[in-house]
Amino acid sequence: MNIAKVFSVGLTGLVFGLAGSYAFAQATGAVESKYRWLTFAVFGAIIALTMYITYRAAKRTKTAADFYTAGGGMTGIQNGWAIAGDYLSAASFLGIAGLISLNGYDGFMYSVGWLVAYITVLLVIAEPCRNIGKYTMGDILAFRNNPKTVRTVMALSTITVSTFYLTAQMVGGGVLVKTLIGIDYEISVIVVGILMLAYVVFGGMVATSYVQIIKAILLVIASLVMVTLIWSQYGFSFPGFLQAAVNDPGIQGRVATLLGDASKNMTPEQLGQRFLEPGLLFKDPIDQISLGMALVLGTAGLPHILMRFFTVPTAQAARKSVIWAMAIIGGFYVLTLFLGLGAAMKVGPSNIIAVDKGGNMAAPLLAQFLGGGADSLLGNLMLAFVAAVAFATIVAVVAGLVLAAASAMSHDIWVGVIKGENATSEEEVKAARICSVIVGVIAITIGILAKGQNVAHLVALAFAVAASANLPVILLTLYWKRCNTGGVVAGLVLGTLTAIALVLVSPNMTYPKAAKAAAQKVIDAAPARMAKLQADLAAATDPNRKAIVQKALAGVDKDVTVAQDTMKRLANDNTSIVGLEEPLFKLKNPGIISIPVGFLAVFLGSLFYRDKRAEDMWDELYVRSNTGMGRAGAAAH
């Protein structure tokens, strides 16, 4: 393969693609039209940098070990930063900052859940997985169980989890780029897809790792700069910063809106204080526990995270990489508290919602404010940088997911099951690249077809399946002598089916009657909202305030259009896709049920199935998982 020629063609295509995207960019993004060139310039610079890294990485990717695990040559620090880059998705950066800006304390609980998740990884998963596995999660299970059987079911589970997560990321990426800079949704999805394929197909794990490292560094730098600028305004006093949030009229108004009638007898200070207390977003403690279980245990079962522990040369480096990842991820999540509260005070919850209802634009809008506002060059440069970092975040995460799914298809199914472990390294690399293209094309297609769909339940599904199916079989294979092929198959099948079935009957799905009632409520309330905003516009004298109110007016129009589309789209529907008028399972996350089911299935399946090989291999697995002895031979393949 002439890599230089391929990259010349690829880069030319990307240049034309960006130019075409600029030409087709609509005037509806968060960035003003006259500054949109700035955003494209920053995007182009970051894309050029990552493509250059991929070009260099492609020259080093010769063997299957290079493609799947970067040749096992990553240091603990490098892998720690790459794990952080893999883990800190757009949901972490934009989503959590937005949740905090709109819901206060409860939004920060997501940060705590994702951080605590890594303690599970550090204590029970990282080192034994690195010592037992080679390229995929299937390798870990195949060590002491029937290889073909467990590789097949594990590959299906890996592809299922990756597809759920990948689809949510692709849809989120398309919506995000369209909201930020106005590029058409379909073009955004295709550009994200082409970039992720370029990283994975040409550079494999080497390019994917370095792209994730760069993205993580940019993400931390951008967050640190914004936090420094916002916190310095309060003399770097944490109590002073929190007190300013309590006294902020915009935050007090947001709490009054969330509480409704319950806020009538509360003073402004009490409303502001309520923003720093739990209960504004999570009202059901059981649902919160279920979500926490899925976040903490699901992380330890995500295939693209576990694959990263095969990229380091020693168990010590695996432990070091988890510690570095925890420090980086933990530090970053602390920064989201300042970003979210800062956006709530400086931008205002109502202005954030006017641009994006979910609050995902809180951090970019805060960057624009800190740089001087919507009409300043520096403000738009900062917004462009944050937008480009968010874009790089999405591409890096989907690249990791594509690599995990493609590895399961090529290494577990094609090499392990179809070829019976009889494939040369060159054949395996070729198969991995072909599988990457297949996964990438499927992801782009699903991403485009899912336009306008609510994909929040797919994220819940990915974590639920990972926690209910993947983690029980990995954990019990490593730590329970009686665990065998029967238990692994039962755990993967029942854990996956239980999680999917409960999500299908949960509040995550669309229930037409409730959706139409909510849409009608929006349409009925629109005239009063419009009248109030038009009065605010007439009274406004500051240009920035006028621009904000005009955006809010446009937001009301958009809400009405969406509500009318919902009424039209669901006109003939009265039940969900499984025939329900309302949720049968009241929790949004099934973890509190499906995780125990997964563990119980492994336990019972192992007891009712006889597998002498699993018991015979226990001593060898125990020694190797604790010492790493014999791994070098396995890795050589």
For residue 632, the model assigns a pLDDT of 54
| 95: nearest Cα among 446, 390, 450 | 390
- Whether the CA torsion 615, 617, 620, 624 is positive or negative: it is negative
- Whether the CA torsion 296, 327, 337, 219 is positive or negative: it is negative
- Residue 5 pLDDT > 70, yes or no? no
| 141: nearest Cα among 478, 596, 611 | 478
Kindly report, residue by residue over 8-24, the tens digit of the pLDDT: 555 555 555 555 555 54
Q: How far is the C-alpha of 90 from the C-alpha of 477, rounded, in Å? A: 33
Segment of 158-167, 238-247, 306-315 carrying the highest mean pLDDT: 238-247
Q: How far is the C-alpha of 455 from the C-alpha of 167, rounded, in Å? A: 8
DSSP state letters, 399-425:
HHHHHHHHHIIIIIIIIIIISTT---H
| N-terminal to C-terminal alpha carbon distance within the chain | 24
Share of the chain above pLDDT 70, in %: 89
Inter-residue contact 245 to 275 (CB < 8 Å): yes
Query: Is residue 442 packed enough to be buried (19+ CB in 10 Å), middle (13-18) or exposed (0-12)?
Result: middle
- Residue 229 pLDDT > 90, yes or no? yes
For residue 18, the model assigns a pLDDT of 52
Q: Residue 483: pLDDT band by 50, 70, 90 thresholds?
A: very high
Residues 6+ apart with CB under 8 A from 32: 374, 375, 380
Kindly report, residue by residue over 318-328, the tens digit of the pLDDT: 888 888 888 89
- Mean pLDDT along residues 231-252: 91
Query: Is residue 632 packed enough to be buried (19+ CB in 10 Å), middle (13-18) or exposed (0-12)?
Result: exposed
Query: Is residue 602 packed enough to be buried (19+ CB in 10 Å), middle (13-18) or exposed (0-12)?
Result: buried
509: amino acid identity, one letter? M
DSSP state letters, 302-369:
-HHHHGGGGSSSSHHHHHHHHHHHHHHHHHHHHHHHHHHHHHHHHT-HHHHHHH-TT-TTHHHHHHHH
- Mean pLDDT along residues 278-305: 82
- Whether the CA torsion 177, 178, 180, 181 is positive or negative: it is positive
Q: Residue 484: pLDDT band by 50, 70, 90 thresholds?
A: very high
Q: Which residue has the higher pLDDT, 456 or 292?
A: 292
For residue 636, the model assigns a pLDDT of 45
Q: Give 267's DSSP letter.
A: -
Segment of 121-130, 176-185, 554-563, 608-617 carrying the highest mean pLDDT: 608-617
For residue 236, the model assigns a pLDDT of 92
- φ/ψ bin of 2: left (φ > 0), alpha (ψ from -120 to 50), beta (otherwise): beta
Q: How far is the C-alpha of 24 from the C-alpha of 1, rounded, in Å? A: 34
Q: How far is the C-alpha of 240 from the C-alpha of 238, rounded, in Å? A: 5
Q: How far is the C-alpha of 258 from the C-alpha of 288, rounded, in Å? A: 18
- Residue 298 pLDDT > 60, yes or no? yes
| 533: nearest Cα among 545, 547, 521, 550 | 550
For residue 29, the model assigns a pLDDT of 56
Kindly report, residue by residue over 537-590, the tens digit of the pLDDT: 888 777 767 766 776 777 778 778 878 888 888 888 888 888 888 899 888 888
In the block, residue with structure tokens 């809180």: 362
User: How much is the pTM?
Assistant: 0.80
| 570: nearest Cα among 503, 518, 502 | 518
Helices (H), 232-284: 238-247, 249-259, 268-274
Kindly report, residue by residue over 469-481, the tens digit of the pLDDT: 999 999 999 899 9
Question: Across the chain, what does the average pLDDT equal?
Answer: 82
Q: Which residue has the higher pLDDT, 539 or 7?
A: 539
For residue 455, the model assigns a pLDDT of 62
Inter-residue contact 374 to 547 (CB < 8 Å): yes
Q: Residue 468: pLDDT band by 50, 70, 90 thresholds?
A: very high
